[in-house]
Amino acid sequence: MKLDPAIRDQVLATVPSLRAFAISLCGNIDRADDLVQETLLRALAHIDSFEPGTNMPAWLFTILRNLFRSEYRKRRREVEDAEGRYAETLKSHPEQTGRVEFEEFRTALAKLPADQREALILVGASGFSYDDAAAICGCAVGTIKSRVNRARTRLADLLAIDSVDDFGPDRATRAVLAGGGRN
């Protein structure tokens, strides 16, 4: 039996935002596309477990996130050079934001703990409800709310502070700053 074209179209329609989420997780567009590809393979192989009428994006995001957690995180060291690669993938960004400001934002986002960044992206960019985001991340709604709040607060702090010394002793943070060419 072939896949219902309506379901197929729902999958296709979710691919662009799946990629955007994957890039925010991987920090690198090539690995993000690999991750999306694996997600699609996995999803279509198990399409029977998708209940028509339920939230296709949430279902696919959950699969992608689980794949990322189980496989891709082992290669975490690669994420440290994500900064430069990510910049390459985003050569043309929307004009309403100044380039310097945009780069600062991206650098700040990269400094957030992964859990907070993920929650912020799901709620603030992907447009998922707190409930859906909690389901995708396999945690309580309150946990998601708290992560989003902490992410926003931390970002606001980072974006308001220019001195490297204010960012604390974290090694990865310094690497990002050094690679980012600021100061």
Partner 1 sequence: MGERGKDDAMKHRKTNLEPVAEKPESQDPMARPATTSPHKEARLGREVQARIGQQLRAMYNDVVNQGVPQHLADLVRRLSDQDQD
Contacting positions for partner 1 (CB under 8 A): 1-3, 5, 8, 11-12, 15-17, 19-20, 23-24, 33, 36-37, 40-41, 44-45, 47-48, 89-90, 92-94, 96-102, 105-106, 109, 120-121, 124-126, 149-150, 152-157, 159-163, 165-166, 168
| Closest CB 78 distance from partner 1, rounded Å | 19
* Minimum distance of partner 1 from residue 178's CB (angstroms): 18
Judged by CB, which is closer to partner 1: 69, or 152? Answer: 152
Q: Which CB sits closer to partner 1, 15 or 178?
A: 15
For residue 136, give both structure tokens.
């995708």
Place of tokens 């945009």: 102
Length of the chain: 183
Compute how many other C-beta atoms are within 10 angstroms of the C-beta atom of residue 168: 9
When the beta carbons of 9 and 74 are compared against partner 1, the nearer one is 9
Please state, in angstroms and rounded to a whole number, the distance separating the CA atoms of residues 110 and 26.
Answer: 11
Q: Which among 172, 183, 19 is positioned nearest to 89, based on CA atoms?
A: 19
Closer residue to partner 1 in complex, CB, 52/74: 52
Q: At what angle do helices 141-160 and 130-137 cross, to 10 degrees?
A: 100
Q: At what angle do helices 99-110 and 82-89 cross, to 10 degrees?
A: 140
Compute the least distance from the CB of residue 69 to partner 1, in Å.
Answer: 20
